[in-house]
Amino acid sequence: AAPRGREKRSEGRGTLRLRLLDPSPRSGEVIPIPAEVTVGRGGGCGIVLADDTFVSTLHARLYQQNGQAFVEDLGSTNGTFVNGKQVTAPTRLKRGDQVQFGQTVAEVIK
């Protein structure tokens, strides 16, 4: 996988970010959660997890509403999980939560 851009931009105060954890080959990478972004293996997604074959082409959506971040599963094959619990409806994210897409796990950080 090509190296991603370094964390240079300020996405605004209080913006939550995801830090990819092991076993991802991109472990340690930090990804800002913008107003809205899709997650999946497909090239059209804002966050592309091409290395994880358990991630669907269009897996999940992350978005912010009223200053809070949420994750929503988009009918993925293997599900989206927050702190080990499968997401069945939009779920609020807070700092310290662990979000799993396929086998990729990320921690929500500020």
- Identify the residue whose tokens are 């990804």: 31
Q: Contact 48/24 with Cβ under 8 angstroms?
A: no
Q: How confident is the model at residue 110 (pLDDT cuts 50, 70, 90)?
A: confident
Domains assigned to the chain = 17-109 (2.60.200.20)
- State yes or no: pLDDT of 5 exceeds 60: no
- Residue 44: how many other CB atoms lie within 10 Å: 9
In tens, the pLDDT along 52-89 reads 999 999 999 999 999 899 999 999 999 999 999 999 99
Average pLDDT, the chain: 88
Q: What is the pLDDT of residue 23?
A: 80
